[in-house]
Structures are given as structure tokens and as C-alpha cells.
């Protein structure tokens, strides 16, 4: 079970580190390490999901949906299991973002509206995963990660319109 926690928390920390490298870059191209860290985070998140399906759910998708419904019921009082599908969407968006970034490293910053929507989606998922559904020290780590993301994203949004990152 420890591997389940370690893989997802490392994945989220790598996501945050990658976003930091991407968001605070003041050059046309963010540091090369940022993309690798961001993408390694995705790989670890996928490993986490595979481990969860193997160790916890024994490759029974309905069990994962039911377990998610139980957790949602415990936190919100509503038993819905569609959070599993939201996780799949999160991984798909993360992969598409990494691919876009890799394909166009010189113009990695998308139009402002797309960036805002992506960041809002990422924030929604990470707040739920790392703060609302976390407990104890993990919740504190989640709050710190979310606070850092909000800070670096706010910093990158304050760049002047003449910045090479704006299109």
C-alpha cells in the first residue's frame, strides 16, 4: 500500500515542479528539465493507477467505481463513482498538455483562455485529490502544493503583454 501513496504523491510533486519550471521561465523556452519532470509525473500517476487496479481492485473496474463512490459518500454524502472517469480525463489532459509542450517548446504557452481553463481543471483535480480526500500530513502537503501552484501561476499571469510567452 505504501507504493500507492508514494507514486501518486511523487507524481503530484513532479507535476508541480514541472509547472514551476514552465511558469517561471522568462525566456522563450522553459528549461528542458521542466518537461521531463512534468512527463515523469504523468508516468508515475499512471503507475499509481495500475498499482491500485492490481493491488486494491484486482483489475475489476466496477470495484474501483464502487470504492470511489464510497469515498465520495464519506466526504460529500453523495455516492457517485464517476470520479474514476474524471481521473482518466485528468491523465488524458495531462498527456495532451505534455505532448503539446514537447511538440512546440518555443511557443509552449497557449492562448490565455486555454491556459486558464487547463489550470482551473488541474487545480480542481489536485485540490480534490491532495486536500479534500487526503488526511493528516498528506492534507498539509496538498495545501502546500496547491498554494505553490496558485502562486507560480499568478506570477506567470502577471507578465507584461510584451512577454515572449504571450500570443
Q: Which domain holds residue 108?
A: 2-157
Domain count, the chain: 1
Distance CA 44, CA 51 (A): 10
Mean pLDDT of the chain: 90
Q: Kindly state whether residue 167 falls inside one of the protein's structural domains.
A: no
pLDDT at 108: 55
Distance CA 29, CA 43 (A): 23
Distance CA 91, CA 5 (A): 17
C-alpha triplet 106, 45, 156: angle, nearest 5°: 35
**What integer is the mean pLDDT of 16-27?**
83
Q: pLDDT, tens digit, for every residue of 78-108?
A: 999 999 999 999 999 999 999 998 987 665 5
pLDDT at 151: 96
Q: Kindly state whether residue 119 falls inside one of the protein's structural domains.
A: yes
Q: Kindly state whether residue 137 falls inside one of the protein's structural domains.
A: yes
Helix, strand, coil percentages for the chain (3-state, nearest 5): 75, 0, 25
Q: Kindly state whether residue 12 falls inside one of the protein's structural domains.
A: yes
Q: Kindly state whether residue 118 falls inside one of the protein's structural domains.
A: yes
Q: Kindly state whether residue 163 falls inside one of the protein's structural domains.
A: no
Q: Kindly state whether residue 162 falls inside one of the protein's structural domains.
A: no
Amino acid at each position: 500500500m505504501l507504493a500507492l501513496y508514494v507514486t501518486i504523491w511523487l507524481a503530484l510533486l513532479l507535476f508541480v515542479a514541472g509547472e514551476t519550471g514552465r511558469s517561471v521561465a522568462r525566456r522563450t523556452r522553459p528549461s528542458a528539465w521542466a518537461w521531463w519532470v512534468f512527463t515523469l509525473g504523468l508516468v508515475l500517476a499512471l503507475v499509481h493507477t495500475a498499482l491500485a487496479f492490481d493491488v486494491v481492485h484486482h483489475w475489476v473496474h466496477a470495484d474501483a467505481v464502487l470504492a470511489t463512490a464510497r469515498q465520495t459518500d464519506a466526504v460529500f454524502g453523495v455516492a457517485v463513482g464517476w470520479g474514476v472517469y474524471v481521473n482518466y480525463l485528468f491523465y488524458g489532459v495531462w498527456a495532451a498538455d505534455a505532448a503539446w509542450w514537447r511538440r512546440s517548446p518555443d511557443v509552449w504557452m497557449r492562448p490565455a483562455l486555454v491556459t486558464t481553463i487547463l489550470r482551473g481543471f488541474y487545480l480542481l483535480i489536485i485540490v480534490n485529490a491532495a486536500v479534500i480526500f487526503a488526511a493528516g500530513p498528506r492534507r498539509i502537503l496538498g495545501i502546500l502544493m496547491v498554494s505553490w501552484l496558485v502562486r507560480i501561476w499568478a506570477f506567470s499571469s502577471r507578465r507584461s503583454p510584451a512577454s515572449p510567452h504571450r500570443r
